[in-house]
Amino acid sequence: MTQIQHEMDIRIYYEDTDAGGIVFYANYLKFCERGRTEFLRQAGLESKPLMDREGFIFVVRKLTADYLLPAFLDDIIVMKTTLTEMRNASFDMKQIIYKKADGGQPNIKIFEMDVTLVCVNKKGKPIRVSDPVRDALGL
C-alpha cells in the first residue's frame, strides 16, 4: 500500500497551554483530530457530506499516545498524518507532531500516536469502507 500523508503547521496559542505555558496534554489529541480531518479533506472526504449524503462517518476506536517532549506557547508544530493500514471497516493512522526548528535545523519529534478509525453508519454500526472511499484514499 502506498502511504498517503498530510502535513500542517499549527501555532501554539495561549489557549493551548497550561499556567506554565506548556501545551496541555489533551490538546495534542485535538491537534491530531485536526490533522485527520485535513487528511481526509485533502482526499475529498469531508465528514459532514459523508454523513449527509453517504450515511457514514469515521470514529476513533482506539489510540495509543506517546508524549516525548513538551511544546510551548508560540511554538510552531508540524502535524504529520499517515494512513498505515486499511481493513474492511477500519483503518490505522500514524500521527507524529514535530516542533518546527529554526534556521534549517531538523524538526524535533515531540509526540507520536497510533489511531484506529472505524467506518460506522448513522446507527453507529460498523460498515465496510466503500470502494469510492478506498479509491479516494489511493487504495
pLDDT at 34: 96
Q: Could you list the active site residues?
A: 18
Domain count, the chain: 1
63 grid coordinates: 489510540
- Distance CA(80)–CA(35), nearest Å, equals 7
* CATH number reported for the structural domain that contains residue 67 in this entry: 3.10.129.10
Model pTM? Answer: 0.91
89 grid coordinates: 471497516
**Domain coverage including residue 36:** 5-136
Could you give the C-alpha distances from 2 to 83, 98, 137, in angstroms and in order? 9, 22, 10
Strand order in the sheet with 108-121: 5-11, 76-86, 90-99, 108-121, 56-67
- Give the containing element (helix H, strand E) for 85: strand 76-86
Q: Which of 135, 111, 122, 119 is nearest to 22 (CA)?
A: 111
Q: Which of 55, 69, 120, 139 is nearest to 98 (CA)?
A: 69
pLDDT at 2: 56
Mean pLDDT in each 10-residue stretch from start to end of the chain (139 residues)?
82 95 97 96 88 91 98 96 95 96 85 97 93 85
